[in-house]
Amino acid sequence: MNIAFSVEAIEQLFKRKDGSYKFARWGRPIAPVVFGVDDDTLGYLKDAIAQTVAVTGGTLAETDPELGANFMWFFCTGWDEVASVPDLDKLVPDLENLIVSLKQKDVNEHRMFIFDNDGTIKMCLLFLRMKGDISDIPVQVLATGETLQSLLVWAEDAFSSQSPIAVVKENGICIVKPDFAALVRAAYDPLMPSSAIDASHALRLHPRVEKLYRDLVQ
């Protein structure tokens, strides 16, 4: 029998470092915008973003009626460049301190979620510094992985020991692994809550994930 995730494994994917459970999905269509890349790269990025968002069962929107764009990608070669983005300080509290922190930690990515009143994801801001290993990652692989990690609010260490994506050797195409694809699709089931802070949510999610996973691998 094919098994995707146990209930415990699902719970761990949404358990915070303080032991609390936090799950949230997007509550509105995703409308991406990308800053800091050339037109050719932009095309590949948007294709990969659209293909990954399709895992949820939804499609990309051209615009968000309230925000214009709600999934914002910022590419840079150094964190100081982020400070020059017009009006970004209106979206990111203490932007200057964030930049200082990112430089001190010497990280290459930072993801920030903004939530609606019902707890669903309203906006995601994704900052990527193209330095070191990350700059060698193919565009499709980078876009697939980063988009997948932005579709739900995952635990901080959800992907520390496992990757949710894989590259097909025969054609070099990057895909979401079937177990994670099943999990994301189940998480977006209209009958499931769009946000949750009780671990019993994982128990409800489990049978849906198993059924979808079996359908995918058959």
Write the pLDDT tens digit of every residue in 158-214.
999 899 999 998 888 999 999 999 999 999 999 999 999 999 999 999 999 999 999
> What residue type is assigned to position 193 of the chain?
P
- If pLDDT is split at 50, 70 and 90, which confidence band does 1 have? very low
Inform me whether the pLDDT recorded for 77 exceeds 90: yes
Nearest 5 degrees, angle CA 96-CA 100-CA 104?
170
Contact 55, 147 (CB under 8 A): no
What pLDDT, on a 0 to 100 scale, did the predictor assign at position 217?
Answer: 84
Contact 48, 139 (CB under 8 A): yes
What pLDDT, on a 0 to 100 scale, did the predictor assign at position 2?
Answer: 57
Inform me whether the pLDDT recorded for 66 exceeds 70: yes
Nearest 5 degrees, angle CA 116-CA 143-CA 215?
80
Inform me whether the pLDDT recorded for 140 exceeds 80: yes
Contact 76, 129 (CB under 8 A): yes
- Integer Cα distance of 136 and 47 in angstroms: 19
Q: How far is CA 64 from the centre of its chain?
A: 18
- If pLDDT is split at 50, 70 and 90, which confidence band does 3 have? low
Inform me whether the pLDDT recorded for 4 exceeds 80: no
> Which pair of structure tokens corresponds to residue 28?
């509105």
What pLDDT, on a 0 to 100 scale, did the predictor assign at position 109?
Answer: 95
Q: What tens digit of pLDDT does each residue of 8-57 get?
A: 999 999 999 999 999 999 999 999 999 999 999 999 999 999 999 999 99
> What residue type is assigned to position 140 of the chain?
Q
What pLDDT, on a 0 to 100 scale, did the predictor assign at position 169?
Answer: 85
Average pLDDT, the chain: 94
- Percentage of the chain exceeding pLDDT 70: 99
Which residues are CB-contacts of 70 (< 8 A; sequence separation ≥ 6)? 28, 30, 31, 64, 122, 123, 124
DSSP tag of 110: E
**Helices of type H across 21-165:** 39-53, 88-91, 95-105, 139-150
pTM to 2 decimal places: 0.94
Average pLDDT, integer, range 66-82: 95
Average pLDDT, integer, range 125-149: 95
